Amino acid sequence: MRSKMRLSVVIPIWDDPSALREILTTIACLRGVDEVIIGDASANDDCAQIATAARTRHVRCAKPGRGQQMNAAASMATSDVILFQHADTELRQAHVDSLLAAMNECDVVGGAFHRKFDARHPRLMWLEGWNRILAEKGGTLFGDQSLFVRREVFERMDGYRAFPLMEDVDFSKRLRSEGRRVVLDPPIATSARHHMKHGSWRTSLRNGTMLLLFALGASPDFLHAWYYRKRP
């Protein structure tokens, strides 16, 4: 009989207390989550207080950067599998159940969930099918798809690289070389704030351009500066 698979949830946060409060309230009701660890780079103590009130583990990070925040939090994890969860991405019982079932297959090293958008808008619908096809063909798994990995594999990979941007793209590429990845249902809903604010086509074109530039060798620092409209 297989022993129970243990799951740690790591959440990077930066000055977004409302999103953190919402996701922690949700996680508190889920079966199969053994520990929650917050990697907090906020400028004030709001998120720290929310984490403490929710009885989660908390690590303070000197500056924002998802890769570094997730590494700091993951270094405290004690479970078999680590799930890297964005605060503005949903997590339901069906996702936890699907993840734990998949990771009971010993050849699976990690993976993510198929994606859907939580702000229902006709102009966004075409993205879901396209993302599913790419993911199933071995494409990049992004952070807002709730990446997960065996802790021993994560440690062997030395975690995320300290990139200011594209840390998830780099991690996804390296995870592919570690063994079998899975992309799971049910699809997971991530915030469509950027698509709704800037337009679905414009956001997709920008993201696609950044991925292409990164694949061609552009540095994460340059891409970060461009993304936030700063001089590199």
C-alpha 131 chain-centroid distance: 16
pLDDT per residue rounded down to tens, the chain (232 residues): 456 899 999 999 999 999 999 999 999 999 999 999 999 999 999 999 999 999 999 999 998 989 999 999 999 999 999 999 999 999 999 999 999 999 999 999 999 999 886 554 555 566 667 777 777 777 899 999 999 999 999 999 999 998 888 899 999 999 999 999 999 999 998 765 554 554 555 666 666 666 667 677 778 777 777 776 644 4
Instruction: For residue 27, give the nearest of 121, 123, 117, 91 by alpha carbon.
Output: 91
* Count of C-beta atoms within a 10 Å radius of residue 45: 13
Q: Which residues contact 149 (CB under 8 A, 6 or more apart)?
A: 81, 82, 84, 109, 110, 157, 175
Res 77: pLDDT: 98
Q: Hey, where are the domains in the chain?
A: 7-193
Instruction: For residue 224, give the nearest of 168, 176, 166 by alpha carbon.
Output: 166
Q: Give the Cα separation of 137 and 134 in Å (integer).
A: 5
Amino acid at 88: D
How many CA atoms within 13 Å lie on the side-chain side of 217?
0
Q: Which residues contact 201 (CB under 8 A, 6 or more apart)?
A: 123
Q: Which residues contact 145 (CB under 8 A, 6 or more apart)?
A: 112, 113, 114, 115, 135, 183, 188, 190
For 181, counting Cβ atoms within 10 Å of its Cβ (0-12 exposed, 13-18 middle, 19+ buried), the class is buried
CB 137 within 8 A of CB 112: no
Please give the class, per CATH, of domain 7-193.
alpha beta
CB 20 within 8 A of CB 13: yes
Res 231: pLDDT: 40
